[in-house]
Amino acid sequence: MLQKSEEALHSLSIGEFEKAKSLYSVLLDKDPDDLDHISGYFIASFWDNRLDLVLRTREGKERGKLLLNYFSDFEIESKKRQYHKTQAYYSCQKCILEEASEHLKLAYRWEGANALDFDSLADLAICLVKVGDFKSALEVFPLSLAQSRMPTQLRFFLAEALCMTGRDREGRDLYMRAFLEEPDLFPWESVRFLPLQQQLQNAQTLLSEPEAFSWFAVLLWQEGFFSNGLPAVYPEVEQWAKEMQRMHEANLRGSHNPKKVKARLLFYAYLIKEKAPGNEFREALALAKTILAEV
């Protein structure tokens, strides 16, 4: 049975979904309650049912986009059934994302950057990060778009690619800015950067709480993950100081979501303490230190 289970996983990993489905069917006859076998059968069936249409779709951009659309549905259904942490899921994820990225790269090679619109370039970059091809990801990230206007989700993935290619000072700074914008979009399941993985492991209890990633971002400040980052420019520090003051007032008044407000306030306080030049932001620094002293 162990051999059949390994064979089924291998079949999933190379896209032989009909064979994988058949093998999981045999395994389920022997052990109908085994979660790995149940999830494997579901996953193999999901992709086997869509394979004909995928293969009939034109190679390149069209097939790559179709695979990513199906993968989005697959993620939702797998999480709904609690199959997203099984070996079968990870084997299939790698197979599909590698195939999707190959087809999007084909379009990129055939027709250049103009072949792919912004969304397609972003999809390809995210795909490459998820399968661990960080160098290629950096080559196709739509960097012509200023980072200040880049969608938050894309910032998180670009930060990971930077960290994983030896540019971790830039990557950590970009992670900080992404957490500043929208912590709930943090794609924690795609993290491979070891220092961040370790922080995630240390925060397992925290991650099950409401506003988990707002508080995780505060924890990263406390653990020094964002320390010694890139310098900030005056206008953004000024904006951060105003936002910290606003959050401080909201925290004093009380709000409908006090935990989130508190987490965001602490994030801004750490940010001001780290980034604000003391001779120009004395009041903001004093307030930040007061806020942090109350933690």
Same domain, 204 and 290: yes
Backbone angles phi, psi at 82, to 5 degrees: 65, 35
2 shares a domain with 141: yes
Q: 110 and 18 in one domain? A: yes
How many structural domains does the chain have?
2
> Are 213 and 288 in a shared domain?
yes
Q: Are 123 and 240 in a shared domain?
A: no
Same domain, 99 and 42: yes
pLDDT given for residue 163 in this prediction: 98
Structural domain span for residue 287: 183-295
- What is the per-residue burial (b if ≥16 Cβ within 10 Å, else e) of 121-136? bbbbbbbbbbbebbeb
Q: What is the pLDDT of residue 291?
A: 94
How high is the pLDDT of residue 112? 74
Residues 131 and 53 in one domain: yes
- Distance between CA atoms of residues 122 and 51, nearest Å: 24
Residue ranges in the chain whose pLDDT is less than 70: 1-2, 113, 142-148, 295
Distance between CA 42 and CA 228 in Å, rounded?
Answer: 47
What is residue 122's predicted lDDT score, i.e. its pLDDT?
Answer: 86
- Residue 154 included in any domain: no
140 shares its domain with 218: no
| Whether 133 and 27 share a structural domain | yes
Give the end of a domain, one of 86, 117, 145: 145
In this structure, are 141 and 264 located in the same domain?
no
Question: Would you tell me how many other CB atoms lie within 10 Å of the CB of residue 20?
Answer: 28
Last residue of a domain, one of 127, 145, 163: 145
Give residue 87's pLDDT.
92
Whether 178 maps to a domain, the answer reads: no
Same domain for 139 and 231?
no
Q: Please report, for residues 36, 138, 232, 234, 244, the alpha-carbon distance to residue 284 in angstroms, rounded to integers and kept in the order given.
A: 54, 36, 15, 13, 8
- Could you tell me if residue 273 is inside a domain? yes
Query: What's the CA dihedral at 149, 153, 154, 156 to 10 degrees?
Result: 110
Indicate whether 22 and 133 sit together in one domain.
yes
pLDDT score recorded for residue 211: 84
293: buried, middle or exposed (CB in 10 Å: 19+, 13-18, 0-12)?
Answer: exposed
Of the three residues 145, 174, 204, the one that is the final residue of a domain is 145
Per the domain annotation, does 24 fall within a domain?
A: yes
pLDDT at 68: 93
DSSP 8-state assignment for residue 115: G
